[in-house]
Amino acid sequence: MSDALPDWRAPYVTTAGEDNEFVTDIRSVVEGGYLTDPTLTIEMACAAAEASEAVTRALDHPWALYTPQQAATVASALFAQLSATADSLRGMQRVLGAMADRGDAGRTDDSTTAGAAPAGALADAVGHLGEAARQLEAVVTGHAHSSVHALQATPSNVTLPQDVHEAFVALAGLLGEDATLNVHHEPGAYDPDDEDGFGCGCDIDILHEGEKYNFHRGDCCWTMIRLSDGRPTKHGTVSYDIWAELPVRLATAHPHQLAQAIRDSLAA
């Protein structure tokens, strides 16, 4: 039998191997060999549950994913979670067996003892855990490959920006005649590899209901200011105490998401 991973895992495995601080933190604990006691086992199980709930919350947002291929990666990871959960449930069976072998759990001679497990309760628990694992394995076997491959094969109809400057250009086109793109660098001079959170230096002026606004990227955020809120300083510059940080942080965000966030901010 081959030890190769099922191909439906490939999107998850590839993405998890890239720069990801959450994955790195978990792997550092696992690779450090620290998971050898109840405290860390319980903490890791609780962290896994929190992470699963966080994914659920992320997927509540309509812009959680931009393309079917991104959806394929998430589906791959979710099925990997189900597979790992099945393995964990079987691991629970083994741990409970070891616990019983030590005499730390199981049938008691005096069932009236406070906290004593009733006869057969441990066996019942082990049986339910095994059945749950079997059902999860059946779900993964029956649906993981088909779901992931169908998403991978679905055409994506969106052209996403590859860097901040492309995002500005696409956004300015969507905002129409009330928006003016201000380019502050020579063509081709912006190097995305030198990205420091402040983008390419370009910005967009927006006219809305007689007020002029400026949209730009700074400190890893998309930000908008109203020019009339500026205060001249003695150094000849203008200072702003009021600004709006858009809820979109990704440098290469979907242009339509950025446009909607700007419209929402202007309407607030």
Six-digit token pair at 77?
Answer: 């990871």
Let me know if residue 2 belongs to a domain. Answer: no
11 and 118 assigned to the same domain: yes
Let me know if residue 58 belongs to a domain. Answer: yes
DSSP 227: G
> What pLDDT does residue 4 have?
60
- DSSP labels, 138-179: HHHHHHHHHHHHHHHHSPP-----SSHHHHHHHHHHHHGGGE
> What pLDDT does residue 115 have?
52
102 and 228 assigned to the same domain: no
H/E segment holding residue 15: helix 10-16
> What pLDDT does residue 77 have?
97
Using the predicted structure, report yes or no on whether residue 112 has a pLDDT greater than 50. no
Q: What's the structural domain count of the chain?
A: 2
Q: Print burial letters for 92-130: b (CB count within 10 Å at least 16), e (below 16).
A: bbeebeeeeeeeebbeeeeeeeeeeeeeeebeeebeebe
193 and 116 assigned to the same domain: no
Q: State the pTM of this model.
A: 0.87
29 and 105 assigned to the same domain: yes
Using the predicted structure, report yes or no on whether residue 12 has a pLDDT greater than 50. yes
Per-residue pLDDT tens digits for 206-258: 999 999 999 999 889 999 999 999 999 988 899 999 999 999 999 999 999 99
Q: Print burial letters for 8-25: b (CB count within 10 Å at least 16), e (below 16).
A: bbebbeeebeeeeeeeee
User: Are the CB atoms for 182 and 168 separated by under 8 Å?
Assistant: no
Using the predicted structure, report yes or no on whether residue 114 has a pLDDT greater than 80. no
Let me know if residue 1 belongs to a domain. Answer: no
125 and 19 assigned to the same domain: yes
Q: Tell which residue, 251, 264, 49, has the closest CA to residue 162.
A: 251
117 and 191 assigned to the same domain: no
CA-to-CA distance for 171 and 188, rounded, in angstroms?
19
Q: Tell which residue, 164, 87, 102, has the closest CA to residue 132.
A: 87
Using the predicted structure, report yes or no on whether residue 110 has a pLDDT greater than 60. no
Let me know if residue 159 belongs to a domain. Answer: no
Let me know if residue 138 belongs to a domain. Answer: yes
Beta bridge partners of 214: 205, 225
Six-digit token pair at 39?
Answer: 């405290």
13 and 143 assigned to the same domain: yes
The contacts of residue 88 (CB under 8 Å, 6+ apart) are 45
Six-digit token pair at 94?
Answer: 């083994």
Q: Tell which residue, 142, 10, 159, 11, has the closest CA to residue 71.
A: 11
Domain boundary among 122, 153, 184: 153
Average pLDDT value for residue range 69-92 = 98
Query: What mean pLDDT value characterizes the chain?
Result: 91
Contacts 24+ apart (CB under 8 A), 83-86: 83/136, 83/137, 83/140, 83/144, 85/136, 86/132, 86/133, 86/134, 86/136, 86/137, 86/140
Phi/psi at 87 (5° precision)? -60, -40
Using the predicted structure, report yes or no on whether residue 3 has a pLDDT greater than 80. no
Using the predicted structure, report yes or no on whether residue 116 has a pLDDT greater than 80. no
Six-digit token pair at 59?
Answer: 């997927």
Per-residue pLDDT tens digits for 163-193: 999 999 999 999 999 999 999 998 888 888 7
CA-to-CA distance for 196 and 192, rounded, in angstroms?
9
149 and 175 assigned to the same domain: no
46 and 149 assigned to the same domain: yes
Let me know if residue 36 belongs to a domain. Answer: yes
> What pLDDT does residue 140 have?
98
Domain boundary among 115, 133, 153: 153
61 and 97 assigned to the same domain: yes
> What pLDDT does residue 168 have?
96
CA-to-CA distance for 84 and 48, rounded, in angstroms?
11
Let me know if residue 100 belongs to a domain. Answer: yes
Residue 220's domain comprises 164-267
Local structure of 182: helix, strand or coil: strand
Domain boundary among 108, 126, 153: 153
Using the predicted structure, report yes or no on whether residue 106 has a pLDDT greater than 90. no
Percent of the chain with pLDDT over 70: 93
Using the predicted structure, report yes or no on whether residue 122 has a pLDDT greater than 70. yes
Let me know if residue 130 belongs to a domain. Answer: yes
